[in-house]
Amino acid sequence: MTLVRVVPIAPFSVINIVGGASHIGWRDFLLGTMAGLTPGILMTSAFIDRAVAAIRHPGPATFALLTGVVAPIVGVTWLVRRKLDEAPTAAAPKHVA
Protein backbone atom coordinates (compact mmCIF):
# COMPACT_ATOMS: atom_id res chain seq x y z
CA MET A 1 0.00 0.00 0.00
CA THR A 2 2.88 2.37 0.78
CA LEU A 3 4.46 1.88 -2.64
CA VAL A 4 1.14 2.42 -4.40
CA ARG A 5 0.63 5.68 -2.51
CA VAL A 6 4.19 6.96 -3.08
CA VAL A 7 4.16 6.28 -6.82
CA PRO A 8 1.02 7.78 -8.35
CA ILE A 9 -0.17 4.76 -10.29
CA ALA A 10 -3.91 5.40 -10.27
CA PRO A 11 -6.43 7.87 -8.83
CA PHE A 12 -7.11 7.64 -5.09
CA SER A 13 -10.62 6.32 -5.63
CA VAL A 14 -9.38 3.40 -7.73
CA ILE A 15 -6.68 2.55 -5.19
CA ASN A 16 -9.25 2.71 -2.39
CA ILE A 17 -11.64 0.40 -4.23
CA VAL A 18 -8.90 -2.13 -4.99
CA GLY A 19 -7.65 -1.91 -1.40
CA GLY A 20 -11.15 -2.48 -0.07
CA ALA A 21 -11.76 -5.42 -2.39
CA SER A 22 -8.45 -7.07 -1.51
CA HIS A 23 -7.60 -8.86 1.69
CA ILE A 24 -5.63 -5.94 3.12
CA GLY A 25 -6.58 -5.30 6.72
CA TRP A 26 -7.88 -1.90 7.82
CA ARG A 27 -4.80 -1.25 9.98
CA ASP A 28 -2.36 -2.15 7.18
CA PHE A 29 -4.31 -0.04 4.68
CA LEU A 30 -4.29 2.96 7.02
CA LEU A 31 -0.61 2.66 8.00
CA GLY A 32 0.47 2.11 4.38
CA THR A 33 -1.53 5.11 3.25
CA MET A 34 -0.05 7.29 6.00
CA ALA A 35 3.51 6.16 5.24
CA GLY A 36 3.01 6.63 1.51
CA LEU A 37 1.44 10.08 1.60
CA THR A 38 3.54 11.67 4.36
CA PRO A 39 6.71 12.40 2.29
CA GLY A 40 4.73 14.15 -0.46
CA ILE A 41 2.70 16.17 2.01
CA LEU A 42 5.82 17.29 3.90
CA MET A 43 7.73 18.24 0.75
CA THR A 44 4.74 20.13 -0.69
CA SER A 45 4.25 22.01 2.57
CA ALA A 46 7.93 22.91 2.81
CA PHE A 47 8.00 24.07 -0.82
CA ILE A 48 4.90 26.26 -0.46
CA ASP A 49 6.18 27.74 2.82
CA ARG A 50 9.57 28.64 1.33
CA ALA A 51 8.04 29.97 -1.92
CA VAL A 52 5.68 32.27 0.01
CA ALA A 53 8.58 33.43 2.21
CA ALA A 54 10.70 34.17 -0.89
CA ILE A 55 7.88 36.22 -2.42
CA ARG A 56 7.06 38.16 0.76
CA HIS A 57 10.64 38.74 1.91
CA PRO A 58 12.96 38.41 -1.09
CA GLY A 59 16.58 38.07 -0.18
CA PRO A 60 19.54 35.72 -0.50
CA ALA A 61 18.63 33.72 2.60
CA THR A 62 15.04 33.03 1.57
CA PHE A 63 16.08 32.04 -1.96
CA ALA A 64 18.81 29.79 -0.56
CA LEU A 65 16.26 28.03 1.65
CA LEU A 66 13.88 27.70 -1.30
CA THR A 67 16.70 26.17 -3.32
CA GLY A 68 17.42 23.84 -0.42
CA VAL A 69 13.84 22.56 -0.59
CA VAL A 70 13.62 22.39 -4.39
CA ALA A 71 16.94 20.58 -4.90
CA PRO A 72 15.93 17.36 -3.09
CA ILE A 73 12.57 17.34 -4.88
CA VAL A 74 14.26 17.65 -8.27
CA GLY A 75 16.95 15.12 -7.28
CA VAL A 76 14.51 12.46 -6.13
CA THR A 77 12.32 13.03 -9.19
CA TRP A 78 15.36 12.62 -11.45
CA LEU A 79 16.46 9.43 -9.68
CA VAL A 80 13.00 7.87 -9.83
CA ARG A 81 12.66 8.81 -13.49
CA ARG A 82 16.07 7.29 -14.23
CA LYS A 83 15.19 4.07 -12.38
CA LEU A 84 11.89 3.80 -14.25
CA ASP A 85 13.65 4.31 -17.59
CA GLU A 86 16.15 1.56 -16.71
CA ALA A 87 13.46 -0.88 -15.58
CA PRO A 88 13.26 -3.92 -17.82
CA THR A 89 10.28 -3.97 -20.09
CA ALA A 90 8.59 -6.93 -21.64
CA ALA A 91 10.36 -7.78 -24.84
CA ALA A 92 8.20 -7.36 -27.89
CA PRO A 93 7.91 -10.47 -30.02
CA LYS A 94 10.23 -10.35 -33.00
CA HIS A 95 8.56 -10.51 -36.36
CA VAL A 96 10.18 -12.70 -38.91
CA ALA A 97 9.87 -11.28 -42.39
Domain-wise residue ranges, the chain: 2-85
Residue 25, pLDDT above cutoff 60: yes
Taking the complete model, does pTM exceed 0.85, yes or no?
no
pLDDT band for position 94 (50/70/90)? low
d(CA 44, CA 61): 20
pLDDT of amino acid 69: 92
Residue 13, pLDDT above cutoff 90: no
d(CA 38, CA 32): 10
Q: Report the greatest alpha carbon distance in the chain.
A: 67
d(CA 4, CA 21): 15
pLDDT of amino acid 82: 87
How high does pLDDT run on average in the chain?
A: 85
